[in-house]
Amino acid sequence: MKKERIYLAGCGGMLGEAFYVQFKNEFEIKCTDIDLNEPWLSYLDFRNYGAYRKDVLEFKPDYLFHLGAFTDLEYCELNITETYRTNTMSVENACYIANELDIPLLYISTAGIFDGNKEFYDDWDFPNPLGHYARSKYAGELFVKENVRKHLICRAGWMMGSGPSKDKKFIQKLMKQLKDGKKELFIVNDKDGTPTYTHDFAKNVKALVEKKCWGLYNMVCGGQTSRLEVAGALLDLLDLREKVKITAVQSDYYQKIYFAQRPANERLINRKLDMRELNLMRDWKVALKEYISQYYKGYLES
């Protein structure tokens, strides 16, 4: 039986690695990015509509997955035009291409599009983005929803995955400090959210594609938590709780480094996935344990 084909644009990051691993055996895939950091990537700048369209049309995919984005909030605040070119206009490019081929489009959104004023957010809560990163991502959401009939919009939370080479988020920042011999971690105690393991996320997308359940979905790991609790759980996994001190601080402690506005609460619940009985996202502590054991073996000793 002939395999279905997927074109994955912006596949060079931490999420792209998981999609490559989870989809490569069951689908014929083409993975592209501007950063050719893997042998399975080919070059494509999806901000260039002509090049994007030509490359996708030549591959003749059954699905288009648009994965890439600028996710550094400070960079986005300082580079507004580039942020909207990359996070919003490129998504419009993807919509035009998907519509021309009449194929489903996957777009990755974020819990960061909410303002943080509620205890948690389900799939039907209305976003209120605070900064340019969140605004650019929500604009992409709206364009996909309004213009592509068969679409998947999947909202991730605090992403973790792909290990030290590609993870630029919270877990890797903590692991780097531990590797550097830090005996005290200063962790904010006023930020709540939901971790999201890249491999669970990719598996859940695959389930939705196979069932053809198009639409918008929150897609985060189970369990509501905080930055402080995640840091503690990481030290427990590494058996470092007695050796490394955690000091709770307010967000303004990092104001000079992390000056972009962030919601105090980014907790999502996967209400639609639960209702469709398609929620494959495991509890965040289970996912964190698997992540550390698979991607950081020997990291602190090397």
Q: Give the pLDDT confidence of 232-271 residue by residue, as tens digits.
A: 999 999 999 999 999 999 998 888 888 889 989 999 999 9
The per-residue pLDDT for range 131-179, each reduced to its tens digit, is 999 999 999 999 999 999 999 999 999 999 999 999 999 999 999 999 9
What integer pLDDT is reported at residue 301 of this predicted model?
85
The answer as to whether 254 is a domain residue is no
What integer pLDDT is reported at residue 253 of this predicted model?
86
What integer pLDDT is reported at residue 68 of this predicted model?
96
Radius of gyration of the chain (CA): 19
The answer as to whether 259 is a domain residue is no
Q: Which residue has the tokens 């194929």?
A: 103
Number of domains in the chain: 1
Reported in sequence order, the residue ranges of the chain that DSSP labels E, i.e. its strands, are: 5-9, 28-33, 41-43, 63-66, 105-110, 151-156, 158-160, 184-188, 192-193, 195-197, 215-218, 225-226, 245-249
| Crossing angle for the helix pair 198-211 and 14-23, to the nearest 10 degrees | 50
The answer as to whether 54 is a domain residue is yes
| Confidence grade of residue 7 (pLDDT, cut at 50, 70, 90) | very high
Range of the domain at 148: 5-167+194-224+266-283
Amino acid, single-letter form, for residue 105? L
The answer as to whether 50 is a domain residue is yes
The answer as to whether 163 is a domain residue is yes
Examine the pLDDT at 1 and tell me if it is beyond 90: no
Q: Among candidates 259, 5, 14, 3, which has minimal Cα distance to 159? A: 14
What 8-state DSSP symbol labels residue 131? Answer: S
CA distance 217 to 85: 24
The answer as to whether 126 is a domain residue is yes
Q: Among candidates 193, 154, 225, 206, which has minimal Cα distance to 4? A: 206
CA distance 74 to 257: 8
Could you tell me the end-to-end alpha-carbon distance of the chain, in angstroms, rounded to an integer?
45
The answer as to whether 175 is a domain residue is no
Cα within 13 Å of Cα(194), Cβ side: 28
What integer pLDDT is reported at residue 254 of this predicted model?
85
Residue 65 belongs to domain with CATH number: 3.40.50.720
The answer as to whether 258 is a domain residue is no
| Confidence grade of residue 184 (pLDDT, cut at 50, 70, 90) | very high
Please, which residues have CB within 8 angstroms of residue 287's CB and are 6 or more apart in sequence?
160, 195, 197, 199, 200, 221
